[in-house]
Structure 1
Amino acid sequence: MVIGVFGPIIFEVSDNLIRTFDEFTRTNNERWETHDIDGAKPKSEYVGPGLDKISFTIDFTLSLDVNPIEEMDRVVRMSRNGEVHSLVIGNKRFGMNKFKLISVSGAYEQFDKNGVLWSSSTQVELEEYV
């Protein structure tokens, strides 16, 4: 069953494969300017909405039919290529715009006795692309 997609990354759960995310957070920031006033407190001015940010962790586990190294490399390539995609969770498109990858960090968590990576965790940060 497909849970969501971000470009070529398909989050899904089936009898043969598990590729999901965890620790999903969304942050929006507003843009404010501060103007100094002689002899008085500074004046704040709202200048508009900021760019939404989304972060989540993707766990890749070889025993769940997902190759951790290949999957992590794919996410890094997407970032380095400057790819921009819609983020869809369930049947709902997140945000009003597409998102770009601005940060990818991976933790190589578990190796077997032959040096084969069995599990990894990849932290992904997306920012709205306008």
Structure 2
Amino acid sequence: MYIGYMGSVVFIVSSRYMLTPANVQQSASGRWQDHEIIYKKPSSEFLGPELQDMSFDIILASQYGINPKTEYEVLRNMCETGAVFPLIIGGRPVSHNYWTLRSVQLGETYYTPTGKLMWAKASVSLKEYDNSNYAEEKSKLNLYGSIANVLTAVF
């Protein structure tokens, strides 16, 4: 049964394969500024919403059809390259914006007698990515993409 996805990581449960988020925690907050006033209480001003945070665990177990080392490498690569991706859980986006993988920690690892990783718990922390400046990013991407295309064509 399809649950959702986080970039290239697909959350699925079946009789032979299981990769799901567990212990999901999500937080949202607002940005506030307190202005000091002489001889009076400070005046609070709401500046807008803060970016949401989310964290959860993913069990990477070979008994569920997962290669723990390969899946951890995918998560680590997403974290270290600054990947921006949609987060879909339950067939619906978690927010209107994309997400970034800020950290991934591998813990509670178990190995086979031959030293192969067979079970691990990956704890991931995500932060919402506001893509409202998409036009600016797209123009920079087109600029750098065009430069790269010219360089590869020349060399």
TM-score, length of structure 2 as denominator length? 0.79
**Secondary structure of 2:43's match?**
strand
Number of residues of Structure 1 aligned to a counterpart in Structure 2: 130
Aligned partner of 1:78 in structure 2 is: 78
Aligned partner of 2:10 in structure 1 is: 10
Q: Deviations over 1:50-83 (max 9, x none)?
A: 1111111101001111111111111010111111
Aligned partner of 2:60 in structure 1 is: 60
Which residues of 2 match residues 110-125 of structure 1 at below 5 A?
Answer: 110-125=110-125
Aligned partner of 1:31 in structure 2 is: 31
Shift of 1:108: 4.3
Structure 2 Cα separation of the partners of residues 59 and 19 of structure 1: 7
**Given residue 79 of structure 1, which amino acid in structure 2 is its aligned partner?**
C
Structure 1 Cα separation of the partners of residues 21 and 94 of structure 2: 15
Q: Does structure 2 retain, via aligned residues, the 8 Å contact 1:13–1:19?
A: yes
Where structure 1 has 5 or more consecutive residues not aligned to the other structure, the ranges are none
- Percent identity at matched positions? 32
Structure 2 Cα separation of the partners of residues 84 and 63 of structure 1: 30
Which residues of 2 match residues 87-102 of structure 1 at below 5 A?
Answer: 87-102=87-102
Shift of 1:87: 0.8
Structure 2 Cα separation of the partners of residues 53 and 91 of structure 1: 20
**Secondary structure of 2:121's match?**
strand
Q: Does structure 2 retain, via aligned residues, the 8 Å contact 1:6–1:88?
A: yes
Which residues of 2 match residues 41-52 of structure 1 at below 5 A?
Answer: 41-52=41-52
Task: Using CA pairs under 8 Å that are at least 6 residues apart, name the structure with larger relative contact order, 1 or 2.
Answer: 1
Q: Does structure 2 retain, via aligned residues, the 8 Å contact 1:108–1:117?
A: no
